[in-house]
Structure 1
Amino acid sequence: MNAPESETSEAAVERAVHRSTPHDSAVLHVTGRAVYIDDMVEPTGTLHLAPGFCPDMARGRIRDIDLSRVRQAPGVVAVLTAADIPGRNDWSTSIGGDPIIAENEVEFWGEVLFCVVAETRDAARRATRLALFEGEAEPPVLTAEEAKAKGLRVLDDYGYGRGDVARSFASAQRRFDGVIRNGGQEHFYLEGQVALAIPGETGDMHVYSSTQHPSEVQHCVAHMLGVPNAMVTVEVRRMGGGFGGKESQASQWACLAALGARVTGRPCKLRLDRDDDMVMTGKRHDMTTAFSVAYDSSGKILAADIDFMARCGYSADLSGGVNDRTLFHADNAYFYPNVALKSERLKTNTVTNTAFRGFGGPQGILAAERIMDTLAIVTGIDPLEIRKRNFYGPGRDVTPYGQKVEDNILPELIADLERSCDYAKRRQECRAFNSKNRILRKGIALTPIKFGIAFTLTHLNQAGALVHVYADGSVHLNHGGTEMGQGLNTKVAQVAADAFGLPLERVRITATNTSKVPNTSATAASSGSDLNGMAALAACNEIKERMVAHLVSTTNAAPESVVFADGRVSHTGGSLSFADLAKSCYEGRVQLSAAGFYSTPKIHWDRQKAEGRPFLYFAYGAACAEVTIDTMTGEMKVDRVDILHDCGRSLNPAIDIGQIEGAFVQGMGWLTTEELVWDDKGRLATHAPSTYKIPTASDVPAIFNTRLWDGDNREETIHSSKAVGEPPLMLACSVFSAIFDAVASLKPGVVPPLDAPATPESIMRAVAFMRRSEA
């Protein structure tokens, strides 16, 4: 059951929630005192690990690895191979196929074939270069198109739809076809993959891991060591960013550290070098999306047939869920009366792609927005008007997967942003500018998002929390979520402080630890605050009930009169401090500890039938972006961005605005500058900051206006808030659509073949196409 909010009037007290409270580690972050795993004081005797791979092979068979020189290198204590693994040699979170240390077969450039354990990190890394390999290399399969031609898949195709698409196309007088390609994206977290494993006295293992999913790391390490889960404890105080890259793929590096600790009996730490991290870990799935659309004279879609071809890499990893979510968001904010959606999960000899902020949703939404932009060009109708005509609405409110859109606020939200950003006037100004300039061209776009909130694997929608109230009235809080800079710990602490009516500084939140809260889900799917906030509130309310019962028994106060606020507990007979009540409860032998639990209500999903309600609610938002491109060089500048985003009743407006703006810039990077390149031998060429460009401060628009939509979540969520981690990333589609608009201005009526990321090269290819069309 969802726990009710306090009955206390907000006008009477200052609440801990709905306030712009600073991040709990903000001062530590900016002063450099925040402790990450690589900052921890290393236990005496700590050894360091470095993984080794074959530098000349992306696909093939290894006949022999000569490790004699590696073992003899200075400082080397041990060299780990697959033969050293006592249990399961697989870090997979799904169907398997992800060896911790590969044996004979190489499936991508960078696959771990051995791991050096040495006295220092430098010695370990130097030793990895001394291995000698014998084997037969085979030509790698690198693109989704090649994999499809060869029939290579990591998972079966999947799709669903409704209506009669073939009949709609046959009877429609207007239709178009198109293709859009989007690249992948490197997570580029500031803190790379890292783990420290400390062996216990009876075979136990304590692992400090930079992971979004401590329970999954616990399971993988336990299975690898061949011990019960209870013998492995995983702890996470904070991560220096995750973005999905540490949801499943942190497990391999934790397993290697734990294996080193088991073999040597000494603490072992593994921290990947940045280049190795980029080479060895997965990315956002790049996709080629083909679509056919039938429409009427007003610009409304009659039917859509959309096929997503995803490069998944060498194994399944999380590709099932990622690509399913692409289909869930292929509609974005738009109603398709007749629709066929298909996803192809293709196997290539590249690193296995994985979760990334948005979890496949951005690829689906990008395709939907390209359809809208194309529809605007072929009809000659303003792109925003086209979007509004195709919005979900009365009688047009059921998604392709059967969920009714009951909470649609987009028409009001879009109208608000359209007015506040002066869209109509600025579109006219862009047209006037373009009529006078041949080289520089401006574009503007206002795009919406509708993003479903919940794990689409239903059993993951659960969370636990542990709350202690001490005799002095201070509160200790632990929950199953992980802090990666997004402010989750701050928000959950606010929930607990508000429940007890305490100032935030009286609540101490501690490192996520599998021995305190078991069987947790990943901090992902934007559900961290929703799940862990409700679990914490349930625990707090259980303790409050006991405290109230004790107060009533000792004072004869009316239970309904008891109010926790401003650090005090008031009732009909008077009041006392929260600390005094806590002490009285302790002396009265009242339990002041509780484990809270929450599972998301209402949701269900039958994947075989492709029907149900996979999401509890939708988060909405919109962004208007204006850009200028140089048609001689392909350079692009974002001139202005206006955002209006729906967080429900925000738990912490400052943190939410920070998440919105950060997500937008990260999405802008995916769509404009971040390009992954593999050479013809399957080697990642863009494996360092020197060759891979993420957005910097100079890329952020000088005019960047962000507002929160004012409105409660209609669903019963933690204090009526909404998730904010992933949805705002898709607001950056407005930048890509604005670039498309600028290129399209070169030849009205012609659809530019612009692919993402819209790098200068991509822009110039599209410009060249338009110039040829002019001729």
Structure 2
Amino acid sequence: MNKTVEPAVIGSAVWQEVGKPHFHESAVLHVTGEATYADDVPELHGTLHAAFGLSQKAHARIAGIDFSAVKATPGVVAVITAGDIPGVNDCGPIIHDDPILADGLVQYVGQPIFVVVADTHANARRAARKAVISYQELPATLSPRAARAAESWVVPPMQLRRGEFERAYAAAPRRIEGQLHVGGQEQFYLEGQVSYAIPREGGMQVICSTQHPSEMQHVVAHALGLHSHHVSVECRRMGGGFGGKESQSALWATAAAVCAARLKRPVKLRADRDDDMLVTGKRHCFDYDYAAGFDEEGRLLAVQVDMVSRAGFSADLSGPVATRAVCHVDNAYYLPDVDIRAVCAKTNTQSNTAFRGFGGPQGALAMEYMIDNIARDLGRDPLDVRKLNFYNRPGQPGRDVTPYGQQVTDNVIHELVAELEATSEYRVRRAQIRAWNATSPVLKRGLALTPVKFGIAFNVSHLNQAGALVHVYVDGSVLVNHGGTEMGQGLHTKVMQVVANELGLTLDRVRVTATDTSKVANTSATAASTGSDLNGKAAQDAARTIRRRLAEFAAERFGGSADEVRFAASQVHVNGQAMDFAELVGKAYLARVQLWSDGFYATPDLSWDSATMTGHPFYYYAYGAAASEVMIDTLTGEWKLLRADVLHDAGQSLNPALDIGQVEGGFIQGMGWLTTEELWWNDQGRLMTHAPSTYKIPAISDCPQDFRVRLFDNRNAADSIHRSKAVGEPPLLLPFSVFFAIRDAIASLGDYRINPPLNAPATSEEILKSVEAVRTAARTAGAA
């Protein structure tokens, strides 16, 4: 492990570039419309455009296809089918069960069957709709519970046990059990799926909107029957990804490449919004059966959760998503005796995939639902029950080991929640809301404060590695390339800050180039909130090597010790002299000092046994909490978020401005998942919510007017990059507080003693059903 380099001290001032709230490195390009996305790359002469022909049946054999009308459409150059793929007809990321083009069997409405290549995008789309396809329909499984009943799943069922749940549950003084449904979510990235394949000498270049260029390189090579060194994949930036471009960009990359290879011309494949939503997978919806035993104070004694997720027709990343869900059922709570099970149900719908949080939110929500029920059964404040069940603080023996066997050594949830409880005025407002509800028969208010503990690392250990290249030019400017991808989250900005800090440069001296598999090889996806941790460390390693060489050269040339050379504010201080960084670099070049370096990082101390579902899968935990106040209309089911107080643990933040933006965005996106974003399939298996007109993401009017977001003052206990913490996925769990505030408002109709049966998303219709259920139960209890 490299020795830590302390911030440069010049005079009495400490200089550093990390920790500063620099704006996004492409911010100006974003707001002026000059940022180049995949579809903006100037098209080469002879570029063709492609469009998919999609299945209209959920499960069927293809009896025949008539392409006569397709080929007769003006501008059509070719029709590509599965038989035209020179290599392997598969783009599955783990299990090879995901065909690029359906070959005789279709398994969901929207599955690509063929590709039309034409002179324009519009002509290709128009022609693709003219194919006449005859089907022999097969029985379709459309719900996860139906798939579970038929024992139809895409990976083997999984189970995590600790202790003896049955014994502990039977002996518990009090018990609850029930069911819950939590819907999926469309990624709804602003830039849709797009790939531009360009035949090159001896191979193929693919410009792709993807979170995982190396995987795109692999699947394109396999589809073309080539080696990886024949294929290069490039991504400068994405207009959002959220997990939807981790594995599922492979379909678009491989299809475009197959067409380009066959026609020996550049081919662009860009998804229309409706087609994108029909074809691609989403966040997994989950169905739960749960049971919990607890004592008279609300302390958990036994917990059982049986989860069934909608995997869709193929495995994709459903197995790892379910694994992370299992590992996050505990959220911030110690669970002594547990039995947690998960099944990835095979359904004739889109193959679901990664989405911000990657199963963690689905696992943790079930636990929060149980805590909420327990508190109401006992007539206690839910926050008090939550605090009672927290993992112990570090240094306090016992109650600090997760169900999967990892000791929680960095727990700050007690201090964080206490701070938020005070700053949000939780106790005072809760009393005020109860008094207000007592005099308001129609409009009801609710308040909830919920915690977050989120594990950081890929739960497949070998993926926790990254590489980077750093070049210092003779004019003192620096160019960085790393394996992470930029999807708006500010990864490139943070890596620039890390490199600038290491070399003692102001940020304007450093630039990051497009992610490219021909520069840094064998990279992991930018996912699991590891982008800054992995790539920041790799870039730091490369920059540190260059810095050491320059320090040794400076000491040799000007005297003194290399350890005493200081780099700060684009100046180099050596043996009482100061010079511009560029001046030293120029002298080093003439002395033939190597001015570029590669860097590498592998996250230490990770292990996982998938058979026993035990180990040390996370490098550290990120913590947070949010308090949300809502108002609902009990006549219409409409609701409004009045105020949200958020306190999130980003460690020693690399960039507070970017991190606060990620917390705000994650909060609103998670709120949408739990309240308005409803996916609905009809009884033929067709997704009916496949456009902005039928699928409601949060708008600016849904954001609270009073939105208070702060970063918790904390330094990561783990040796992460500058002791910062990941901030991509954990904030998505913060709006649990919105969902439970809505539930709290509904519970006021039954004097807070009846548990509202509220599923997610808590749409107006779902709220009205829950309101009626509570009123009915209250009337029944009153009559009794």
Q: Distance in 2 between matches of 1:135 and 1:34?
A: 44
Q: Distance in 2 between matches of 1:356 and 1:649?
A: 26
Q: Distance in 1 between matches of 2:236 and 2:774?
A: 52
**Equivalent residue, structure 1, for 2:62:** 62
Q: Distance in 1 between matches of 2:772 and 2:162?
A: 39
In structure 2, do the counterparts of structure 1 residues 2 and 305 end up closer, same or farther at CA, with 3 Å as the change threshold? farther
Question: Aligned AA for 1:28?
Answer: L
Question: Aligned AA for 1:6?
Answer: E
Structure 2 residue matching 1:113: 3-state secondary structure: strand
Kindly provide the CA deviation profile for residues 122-177 of structure 1, in whole angstroms up to 9, marking residues without a partner as x. Answer: 00000011101112112321101111111111111001121111111221221010
Q: Distance in 2 between matches of 1:232 and 1:3?
A: 37
Q: Distance in 1 between matches of 2:161 and 2:604?
A: 26
Question: Aligned AA for 2:348?
Answer: N
Q: Distance in 1 between matches of 2:201 and 2:411?
A: 57
Contact 1:3 1:537 (8 Å CA) reproduced: no
Q: Distance in 2 between matches of 1:628 and 1:299?
A: 27
Q: Distance in 2 between matches of 1:463 and 1:3?
A: 19
**Equivalent residue, structure 1, for 2:776:** 772
Question: Aligned AA for 2:261?
Answer: R
Measured after TM superposition, the shift of residue 188 of structure 1 is: 0.2
Kindly provide the CA deviation profile for residues 188-220 of structure 1, in whole angstroms up to 9, marking residues without a partner as x. Answer: 000000000110122x11100000000000000
Contact 2:173 2:296 (8 Å CA) reproduced: no
- Whether 2:48 is the aligned partner of 1:47: answer yes
- Whether 2:342 is the aligned partner of 1:340: answer no
**Equivalent residue, structure 2, for 1:150:** 150
Structure 1 residue matching 2:735: 3-state secondary structure: helix
Kindly provide the CA deviation profile for residues 564-615 of structure 1, in whole angstroms up to 9, marking residues without a partner as x. Answer: 1111111224122110111111101111111100000111111112221100
**Equivalent residue, structure 2, for 1:85:** 85
Structure 2 residue matching 1:346: 3-state secondary structure: strand
Contact 1:377 1:751 (8 Å CA) reproduced: yes
Contact 1:491 1:651 (8 Å CA) reproduced: yes
Contact 2:555 2:574 (8 Å CA) reproduced: no
Structure 2 residue matching 1:745: 3-state secondary structure: helix
Question: Aligned AA for 2:193?
Answer: Q
Contact 1:2 1:534 (8 Å CA) reproduced: no
- Whether 2:231 is the aligned partner of 1:226: answer no
Q: Give the TM-score normalised by the residue count of structure 1.
A: 0.99
Q: Distance in 2 between matches of 1:2 and 1:359?
A: 32
Matches within 5 A, 1:160-199: 160-199=160-199
Which among 399, 403, 407 is matched to residue 406 of structure 2? 403
Q: Distance in 2 between matches of 1:535 and 1:161?
A: 37
Q: Distance in 2 between matches of 1:763 and 1:679?
A: 22
Q: Distance in 2 between matches of 1:211 and 1:298?
A: 49
Matches within 5 A, 1:499-538: 499-538=502-541
Runs of at least 5 residues in structure 1 that lack an aligned partner in the other structure:
none
Kindly provide the CA deviation profile for residues 250-309 of structure 1, in whole angstroms up to 9, marking residues without a partner as x. Answer: 011011111111011111001000000000000000001111000001110000011111
**Equivalent residue, structure 2, for 1:269:** 268
In structure 2, do the counterparts of structure 1 residues 186 and 2 end up closer, same or farther at CA, with 3 Å as the change threshold? farther
Instruction: Provide runs of 4+ in structure 1 moved above 6 Å.
Output: none
- Whether 2:628 is the aligned partner of 1:628: answer no
**Equivalent residue, structure 2, for 1:9:** 9
Which among 707, 716, 722 is matched to residue 719 of structure 1? 722
- Whether 2:369 is the aligned partner of 1:370: answer yes
The root-mean-square deviation of aligned C-alpha atoms, in Å, is: 1.0
Q: Indicate the larger mover: 683-692 or 170-179.
A: 170-179
**Equivalent residue, structure 2, for 1:556:** 559
**Equivalent residue, structure 1, for 2:124:** 124
**Equivalent residue, structure 1, for 2:782:** none
Measured after TM superposition, the shift of residue 744 of structure 1 is: 1.1
**Equivalent residue, structure 2, for 1:253:** 252
Contact 1:54 1:110 (8 Å CA) reproduced: yes
Q: Distance in 2 between matches of 1:351 and 1:543?
A: 48
Contact 1:475 1:508 (8 Å CA) reproduced: yes
**Equivalent residue, structure 2, for 1:22:** 23
Question: Aligned AA for 1:769?
Answer: A
Question: Aligned AA for 2:15?
Answer: E
Contact 2:219 2:254 (8 Å CA) reproduced: yes
- Whether 2:686 is the aligned partner of 1:686: answer no
Question: Aligned AA for 1:363?
Answer: Q
Q: Indicate the larger mover: 533-542 or 69-78.
A: 69-78
**Equivalent residue, structure 2, for 1:306:** 305
Question: Aligned AA for 1:338?
Answer: D
Q: Distance in 1 between matches of 2:5 and 2:80?
A: 54
Contact 1:50 1:272 (8 Å CA) reproduced: yes
- Whether 2:754 is the aligned partner of 1:750: answer yes
Question: Aligned AA for 1:704?
Answer: F
- Whether 2:138 is the aligned partner of 1:138: answer yes
Q: Distance in 1 between matches of 2:171 and 2:18?
A: 55
Contact 2:38 2:195 (8 Å CA) reproduced: yes
Q: Distance in 2 between matches of 1:54 and 1:604?
A: 42
Contact 2:559 2:575 (8 Å CA) reproduced: no
Matches within 5 A, 1:402-551: 402-551=405-554
Q: Distance in 2 between matches of 1:413 and 1:509?
A: 35
Kindly provide the CA deviation profile for residues 405-450 of structure 1, in whole angstroms up to 9, marking residues without a partner as x. Answer: 0000010000000000000000001100111112111110000000
Q: Distance in 2 between matches of 1:2 and 1:618?
A: 23
Q: Distance in 1 between matches of 2:348 and 2:370?
A: 31
**Equivalent residue, structure 1, for 2:609:** 606
Question: Aligned AA for 1:454?
Answer: A
Contact 2:458 2:528 (8 Å CA) reproduced: yes
Structure 2 residue matching 1:87: 3-state secondary structure: coil
Measured after TM superposition, the shift of residue 712 of structure 1 is: 0.6
Structure 1 residue matching 2:776: 3-state secondary structure: helix
Contact 1:13 1:566 (8 Å CA) reproduced: no
Q: Distance in 2 between matches of 1:322 and 1:490?
A: 29
Structure 1 residue matching 2:390: 3-state secondary structure: coil
Q: Distance in 2 between matches of 1:59 and 1:108?
A: 6
Q: Distance in 2 between matches of 1:561 and 1:650?
A: 27
**Equivalent residue, structure 1, for 2:652:** 649
Q: Distance in 2 between matches of 1:496 and 1:120?
A: 43
Measured after TM superposition, the shift of residue 14 of structure 1 is: 3.4
Q: Distance in 2 between matches of 1:286 and 1:357?
A: 14
Q: Distance in 2 between matches of 1:667 and 1:141?
A: 28
In structure 2, do the counterparts of structure 1 residues 315 and 728 end up closer, same or farther at CA, with 3 Å as the change threshold? same
Question: Aligned AA for 1:321?
Answer: P
Contact 1:2 1:716 (8 Å CA) reproduced: no
Question: Aligned AA for 1:445?
Answer: A
- Whether 2:106 is the aligned partner of 1:103: answer no
Q: Distance in 1 between matches of 2:616 and 2:142?
A: 36
Q: Distance in 2 between matches of 1:772 and 1:137?
A: 44
Which among 570, 573, 589 is matched to residue 570 of structure 1? 573
Q: Distance in 1 between matches of 2:524 and 2:55?
A: 35
Q: Distance in 1 between matches of 2:576 and 2:18?
A: 28
Runs of at least 5 residues in structure 2 that lack an aligned partner in the other structure:
780-784
- Whether 2:327 is the aligned partner of 1:323: answer no
The percentage of counterpart residues that share the same residue type is: 54
Kindly provide the CA deviation profile for residues 682-709 of structure 1, in whole angstroms up to 9, marking residues without a partner as x. Answer: 0000000000000000000000000000
**Equivalent residue, structure 1, for 2:676:** 673
Structure 1 residue matching 2:112: 3-state secondary structure: coil
Kindly provide the CA deviation profile for residues 698-750 of structure 1, in whole angstroms up to 9, marking residues without a partner as x. Answer: 00000000000011101111111000000000001000010111111111321
Matches within 5 A, 1:575-594: 575-594=578-597
Q: Distance in 2 between matches of 1:603 and 1:30?
A: 41
Aligned residues: 773
Q: Distance in 1 between matches of 2:6 and 2:550?
A: 15
- Whether 2:599 is the aligned partner of 1:596: answer yes
